[in-house]
A and B are shown apart, each in its own frame.
Chain A
Amino acid sequence: MTGVTFEVQAGEAVALIGPNGAGKSTLLQALLGQLKHTAKRFEVPTGAGQIGLLPQRQSVTEDFPVTLQQVVTMGRIPHRGILWPSRDDRSGVQRALEEVGLWNLRKRRFGELSGGQRQRGLLARALASDPKLMLLDEPFNGLDAPSREQLIAIVRRLKARGVGFLITTHDIDLARQVTERTLLLNQKQIDFDETECALTLEQVQRVFDHHAVEIDGHTLATAEHHNEMHHGDVHGRPEDPEAP
């Protein structure tokens, strides 16, 4: 994967959209320092726990014998290493749990929570390390509507407090609800622009070409809308010199 240029500002959410195999996970891994890369400029927060990850749901063992509180406490490990949690850690865990509205369920076994609660619990774990940048990997997959709304509300609150978000998703509609800018990716960068402008019908069709992905057509901006916004300039074409 080459030619990807983007940034995430503090308090901003960027959607990372592309079909399976587009390189979304690769990009996240590179941001986490788990892959070697040859980027000319590469700046990420490097302090302990400053990048939080909400992993894809299937990567978590659901019948694991831990309580929600214990899961969230895992988020403090970057700060504590092998030591047992301090008072600071415990209050950080409490803040994170209250943030996602699950403090009351902290003693519940993780596997007994609903899908949406688990997702918020894992979000709290990422929050517990006081991250500057949050990576959310397909956070809305398999969630029902109320859970989605709750997750969206939490993301909005955190953005207001200056946390930056990079959110991979298939869901165009959700991208438009919570993100300011969108990085369209399919092996290479298709576009990086304000979400409204990046997610035009023709661009989304290009990105998802030959991929069986359900797209809620009526929520897409049309090409005309895109041209109106940009007075007819051509954004995000592969030959666009702005997208190296």
Chain B
Amino acid sequence: MIDLVNPFALPFMARALVTLLVLAVAAGTVGVIVNLRRLEFMSDGLTHAVFPGLVIGFIAAGSPGLLPGALVAALISAVLLSLLSRRSGDQNVIAIVLTSFFSLGIVVVSTMDGYSGQLTEMLFGRLLSVTDAQAVITAVLVAAAVLLVALTWRKQVFRAFDRSGSAAAGIRTTWLDIAANGAVAMFVVAAAAAVGTLLVLAVLIVPAASARLLTRTIAPAVVVATVIAALGSWLGLSLSWHLSIELDVQAAPGATVALTLVALYALAVVASLLLSKIRRVR
């Protein structure tokens, strides 16, 4: 039986769980807006754009340089992507920004000695070596991201529902886009140290997508997405602990959490199919 309680008596496991639970709050709010506004690809672009920031920050100041570097890169690219995609109105721009930033990061990191180890860390995070300071920064960034989304919530929903209607109502879309992308950027930075840039999307997108399947309106979706993200984090961490301690299989904790979230999504798909069957019968 997988132990769901005792592993978290260890400080490094507790810190990992707390970090993920903090991220779960953003998964429920920022994630739902990403889902409604279909910003998944934009978010993917931001995760890649953050990467060279991590690398340059690390080269400039070692580990303490990671977060400031990522934050600068994320905010620059959030504004850049908002303005560019507004101009051209298509997703090619995102793909081009995404790949160019990512390549830049790889080129810079490949000039360093022993880069493959550092590369792995930046791509996949170090969930079990999150420090107290990092956990605090994560919490601050998540709070800022949630605040940004909360303040623009009704307008974001309006714009997601009906772009021309919201523009007609005088909603300034440029600022709204920068707010949404800025919130995603801060979330990406907050999560990058813990789960790595590549797995950020798992926490941001998968719980909200699951919640969308299970709920009919937005407010319950926020709650359900948060709960799913928290549950997946807890189960995933426990599973990873169980695998490595009991079965001696060294499973990367970040990726195990991501897979657990995907498994919960699969359950949500099944549940939503059953729900719609029941509704049809009634």
Seen from chain A, the residues whose Cβ lies within 8 Å of a Cβ on chain B are 32-34, 48-49, 51-53, 55-56, 59-61, 64-67, 70-71, 74-75, 77-78, 80, 82, 84, 109, 122, 125, 129, 135
Known contacts A48-B170, A53-B165, A65-B212; decide if A82 and B221 are in contact (CB<8 Å): no
Interface centre among A49, A51, A61, A135 (most CB of B within 10 A): A61
Task: Give the distance to chain A from B117, nearest Cβ to Cβ, in Å.
Answer: 44
Residues of A within 8 Å of B160, CB to CB, are 61, 64
Interface centre among B152, B153, B157 (most CB of A within 10 A): B157
Could you jot down 27 A-B contacts, CB within 8 Å? A32-B168, A49-B169, A49-B170, A52-B168, A53-B165, A59-B164, A60-B165, A64-B161, A65-B216, A66-B157, A66-B217, A67-B217, A74-B154, A74-B157, A74-B158, A74-B161, A74-B162, A74-B165, A74-B169, A77-B154, A77-B158, A77-B169, A78-B169, A80-B154, A82-B154, A109-B217, A125-B165
**Contact across chains for A78 and B151 when beta carbons are under 8 A apart:** no
Task: Give the distance to chain A from B171, nearest Cβ to Cβ, in Å.
Answer: 7
Seen from chain B, the residues whose Cβ lies within 8 Å of a Cβ on chain A are 36, 151-155, 157-158, 160-171, 212, 215-218, 221
**Contact across chains for A135 and B165 when beta carbons are under 8 A apart:** no
**Contact across chains for A82 and B164 when beta carbons are under 8 A apart:** no
Q: What is the CA–CA distance of A60 and B158 in the complex, to the nearest angstrom?
A: 10
Residues of A within 8 Å of B212, CB to CB, are 65
Residues of B within 8 Å of A78, CB to CB, are 169-170
**Contact across chains for A71 and B168 when beta carbons are under 8 A apart:** no
Partner of A64, one of B36, B152, B164, B168: B36
A64-B36, A77-B169, A109-B216 known; 11 other A-B pairs, CB under 8 Å? Answer: A48-B170, A55-B164, A59-B162, A60-B162, A60-B165, A61-B160, A65-B36, A70-B217, A74-B158, A78-B170, A82-B151
Residues of B within 8 Å of A75, CB to CB, are 169
Task: Give the distance to chain B from A34, nearest Cβ to Cβ, in Å.
Answer: 6
**Contact across chains for A65 and B215 when beta carbons are under 8 A apart:** yes
Task: Give the distance to chain A from B98, nearest Cβ to Cβ, in Å.
Answer: 25
Task: Give the distance to chain B from A230, nearest Cβ to Cβ, in Å.
Answer: 36
Known contacts A65-B212, A78-B169; decide if A71 and B161 are in contact (CB<8 Å): yes
Partner of A122, one of B158, B163, B165, B166: B165
Q: What is the CA–CA distance of A55 and B216 in the complex, to the nearest angstrom?
A: 24
**Contact across chains for B167 and A34 when beta carbons are under 8 A apart:** yes
Residue in A closest to B163 when the chains form the complex, CB atoms = A59
Which 10 pairs, one residue from A and one from B, show the smallest C-beta to C-beta distance?
A53-B168, A55-B164, A74-B158, A59-B164, A60-B162, A55-B165, A32-B168, A64-B161, A78-B169, A65-B217
Q: What is the CA–CA distance of A109 and B217 in the complex, to the nearest angstrom?
A: 8
Q: What is the CA–CA distance of A75 and B168 in the complex, to the nearest angstrom?
A: 10
Partner of B168, one of A51, A61, A84: A51
Residues of A within 8 Å of B154, CB to CB, are 74, 77, 80, 82, 84
Residue in B closest to A33 when the chains form the complex, CB atoms = B170
Partner of A82, one of B36, B152, B165, B166: B152
Known contacts A66-B217, A66-B218, A109-B217; decide if A82 and B163 are in contact (CB<8 Å): no
Q: What is the CA–CA distance of A65 and B33 in the complex, to the nearest angstrom?
A: 12
Q: What is the CA–CA distance of A127 and B169 in the complex, to the nearest angstrom?
A: 12
Interface centre among B152, B163, B165, B166 (most CB of A within 10 A): B165
Residues of B within 8 Å of A109, CB to CB, are 216-217
Residue in B closest to A85 when the chains form the complex, CB atoms = B154
Residues of A within 8 Å of B165, CB to CB, are 53, 55, 59-60, 74, 122, 125
